């Protein structure tokens, strides 16, 4: 949303309420990390969501006046965002990922994975989209990655696992809303545990990767997210090491694993300095998503297994 000057008159239009909320968010010192990175975008998302406008629709409605009921709704949401420090997505039960709308609540983390950018690019040139027939999304949470993968690879069937039955209940809502029941299969599983000998052309994962010390330092907004989806052992690497050790058993010879590990990328590289992680760079220059081929994973599988004490 573009920036506009806020006057001293009572807010009346959509623009007015967004700018007033922006000012209130800045004054309250809120943290923005669940889909936005600044007060103006957070305000636009919250007000637009309250009025049921998609982000791309908002500019066309900026000069519309809110009726009394709408004003009450928006003021209440702004107040709750400030007093509870809940992410806006939980307040309006909505998040956007890879250009798609998803239902979210406190049973899942708010969709914000950097993987969305690469999904829209269909992981080219490292993946040949036409050859992708089976896809696995580990730690699916809200199902946003699995559903986005199904849209990106319309010929593929997608399995999506999560250890949390509560998270899978949210994912089921989204699978139904996107009309993908026949192509996206939700599986209760601790990583690969329930998958037997299943193999996939592409495995994608955004697993827990936060260590307890980092969690303790996170802003209050993160306290509303399920800890199970964030913390992964004393160094943040438990889930990803288990994935690396088992992934070769679930990939064909030309298969690929793509994973996001956030702030643990340095710790992961330090733990396995000989592994040729290909760190993919986003449009903003972030490099916390890596890619490894099935051949590379098989070559270094003994290293990953030793790390697990196997």
Report the candidate in 298, 221, 269 with the shortest Cα–Cα distance to residue 30: 221
Task: Give the orientation angle of helix 14-28 with respect to helix 39-50, to 10 degrees.
Answer: 130
Average pLDDT rounded to a whole number, residues 237-266: 96
Q: Residue range 192-203: average pLDDT?
A: 97
Work out the average pLDDT over 245-274.
96
Query: Across residues 85-102, what is the average pLDDT?
Result: 96
**Beta bridge partner(s), residue 158:** 135, 184
Q: What is the DSSP letter of 231?
A: B
Average pLDDT over residues 169-180: 98
The mean per-residue pLDDT over the stretch 98-102 comes to 95
Q: State yes or no: pLDDT of 306 exceeds 80.
A: yes
* Coil, strand or helix at 184: strand
pLDDT, average across residues 233-237: 87
pLDDT for residue 134 is more than 90: yes
The domain limits of the chain are 14-92, 105-307
Q: What is the pLDDT of residue 310?
A: 67
Check whether 233 has a pLDDT greater than 90: no
Name the CATH superfamily, with its identifier, for domain 105-307: Vaccinia Virus protein VP39 (3.40.50.150)
DSSP E strands: which ranges in the chain? 95-97, 100-102, 134-138, 157-162, 184-188, 202-205, 256-260, 278-280, 289-293
Q: What is the mean pLDDT of residues 192-219?
A: 94
For residues 132 and 7, give the distance between their C-alpha atoms in angstroms, rounded to a whole number.
54
Give the whole-number percent of the chain exceeding pLDDT 70: 97
Query: Confidence class of residue 118 from pLDDT cuts 50, 70 and 90?
Result: very high
The pTM of this model reads 0.93
Per-residue pLDDT, averaged over 13-34, amounts to: 96
pLDDT digits (tens, 9 = 90+) for 46-68: 999 999 998 889 999 999 999 99
């Amino acid at each position: 949303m573009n920036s506009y000057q806020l006057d001293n008159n009572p807010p009346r239009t959509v623009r007015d309420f967004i700018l007033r909320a922006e000012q209130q968010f800045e004054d309250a010192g809120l943290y923005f990390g669940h889909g936005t990175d600044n007060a103006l975008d957070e305000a636009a998302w919250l007000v637009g969501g309250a009025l049921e406008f998609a982000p791309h629709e908002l500019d066309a409605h900026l000069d519309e006046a809110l009726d009394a009921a709408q004003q009450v709704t928006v003021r209440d949401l702004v107040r709750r965002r400030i007093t509870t420090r809940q992410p806006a997505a939980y307040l309006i039960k909505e998040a956007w990922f890879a250009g798609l709308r998803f239902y979210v609540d406190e049973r899942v983390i708010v969709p914000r994975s950097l993987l969305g950018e690469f999904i829209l690019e269909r992981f080219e040139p490292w993946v040949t989209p036409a050859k992708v027939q089976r896809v696995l999304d580990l730690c699916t949470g809200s199902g946003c990655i699995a559903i986005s993968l199904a849209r990106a690879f319309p010929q593929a069937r997608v399995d999506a696992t999560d250890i949390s039955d509560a998270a899978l209940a949210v994912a089921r809502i989204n699978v139904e809303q996107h009309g993908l029941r026949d192509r996206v299969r939700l599986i209760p599983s601790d990583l690969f545990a329930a998958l037997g000998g299943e193999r996939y052309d592409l495995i994608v994962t955004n697993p827990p990767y936060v260590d307890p010390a980092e969690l303790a330092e996170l802003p209050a907004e993160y306290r509303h997210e399920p800890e199970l989806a964030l913390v992964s052992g004393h160094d943040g690497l438990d889930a990803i090491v288990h994935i690396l050790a088992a992934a070769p058993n679930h990939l064909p010879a030309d298969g690929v694993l793509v994973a996001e590990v956030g702030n643990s990328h340095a710790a992961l590289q330090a733990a396995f300095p000989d592994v040729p992680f290909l760190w993919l760079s986003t449009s903003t220059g972030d490099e916390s998503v890596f890619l490894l081929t099935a051949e590379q994973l098989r070559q270094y599988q003994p290293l990953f297994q030793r790390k697990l004490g196997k």
